[in-house]
Amino acid sequence: MQETNDMPGHLIRRLQQAAVAIFYREVAETDVDVSPVQFAALDAVSKAPGIDQATLAGLIAYDRTTITGVVDRLVAKGYLQRTQSEKDRRAKVLKVTEKGQAALLQVRPAVMAAQTVMLRGLDEAEAEAFMTLLRKALGAVNELSRAPMVARENAG
Amino acid sequence: MQETNDMPGHLIRRLQQAAVAIFYREVAETDVDVSPVQFAALDAVSKAPGIDQATLAGLIAYDRTTITGVVDRLVAKGYLQRTQSEKDRRAKVLKVTEKGQAALLQVRPAVMAAQTVMLRGLDEAEAEAFMTLLRKALGAVNELSRAPMVARENAG
DNA sequence: GCTATTTACTCAGCATACTGATTGTCAGTA
DNA sequence: TACTGACAATCAGTATGCTGAGTAAATAGC
């Protein structure tokens, strides 16, 4: 019987928890207040201005229900602008505000630093091997998640 | 500039989400209703009867605040028994009930199956390499989490 | 034995994640 | 045009995870 503590799922959960803690640690040294999830969303919108929420969810593999609250908070912070789409009145169109752009610029180095800290136990070759295996494992289970990553089709 | 979608933190988050979905999928085929977190807690208590909540939290690397709710739900389901410790009146002592034991027995194979599915994109050698790197990476960042794993010292 | 500190647990509050339901809109078709 | 099915967003409800605060009990230092 495999030990619970050494099961893939358990180790993945723990690494994810550590990764989140590391993210907050690094980002806390900037003036910007964003969560890992909020950063990913903000960054994605900055690279696809005018994107709608559903497409955004697909891009960064979020649940569509979750994205509502995440965008809510980014709008409340003044980082995102959410307006009704003219082409499709069901959809909301997202854009990064100037304040959001400034925040992104400031926070990106901290996020990059966090990525390094997360893998600080691995040397360069190991880190690369880990990332390769991570991508491969993920590719095979992506569809099993309710929030699979969906390749981008349009920018709205 | 590294793509957000290919950052370690992002990939780890996505794999964790898939892992949770896979867990629920496999466990749904049994009569038992437990979450990944609840399973880990139940399993840990079954291996250390009489453990207190703080020690349990350390064993499976949970936040101590979170454990309260997890145990609440396991008690509500009739899987765990929570009683005041006689040695330390601050502490609550945990034991798996007979119903909990039966649930564990039934659900363990499903949990094992889920572990296999999680890594189905990797062949045996790759899976082993992945696990080795995962353990190594985790060892180096464990202390950065608010809920690091703590080696067991006593069974209460 | 008394006091200061630490510890175990709980609670309030916030931010993910998910299931399932609802509302409004779009698109295809009879 | 009316109907049907699909889709975008939101909401209600539940379960993690975390920060910070509070209560009660144990322990260390004197």
Domains along chain B with CATH numbers: 4-144 (1.10.10.10)
The 3-state DSSP class for residue B12 equals helix
d(CA A72, C1' D29) / Å:
52
Look at A118 and B8 and tell me if their CB atoms are within 8 Å.
yes
What average pLDDT does the segment A68-72 reach?
97
Residues in chain B closer than 8 A to A60 (CB atoms): 4-5, 10
Please say whether the beta carbons of A109 and A19 come within 8 A: no
d(CA B156, C1' C28) / Å:
67
Mean pLDDT of all residues belonging to chain A = 92
The gap between the terminal CA atoms of chain A, to the nearest Å, is: 51
Distance from CA of B23 to the nearest CA of A (A): 8
pLDDT band at A151 (very low <50, low <70, confident <90, very high): low
Q: Is A54 an interface residue toward B (CB < 8 Å)?
A: no
pLDDT surpassing 60 at residue A156: no
Look at B40 and A4 and tell me if their CB atoms are within 8 Å.
yes
Look at B141 and A18 and tell me if their CB atoms are within 8 Å.
yes
What average pLDDT does the segment A4-32 reach?
94
pLDDT surpassing 50 at residue A65: yes
0.75 cut: is pTM over it?
yes
Please say whether the beta carbons of B114 and B23 come within 8 A: yes
Which region holds residue B95: left if phi is over 0, alpha if psi is between -120 and 50, else beta?
Answer: beta
* Model pLDDT, residue B1: 55
Inter-helix orientation angle A8-27/B98-118, to 10°:
80
pLDDT band at A32 (very low <50, low <70, confident <90, very high): very high
* Model pLDDT, residue B4: 83
Can you say whether the dihedral through the CA atoms of B4, B18, A146, B77 is positive or negative? negative
CA distance A140 to A144: 9
* Model pLDDT, residue B153: 41
Residues of chain B with pLDDT under 70: 1, 151-156
pLDDT surpassing 50 at residue A155: no
Strand partners, A51: A94
Residue whose entry in the numeric block shows the structure tokens 């880190």: A127
CA distance A83 to B88: 58
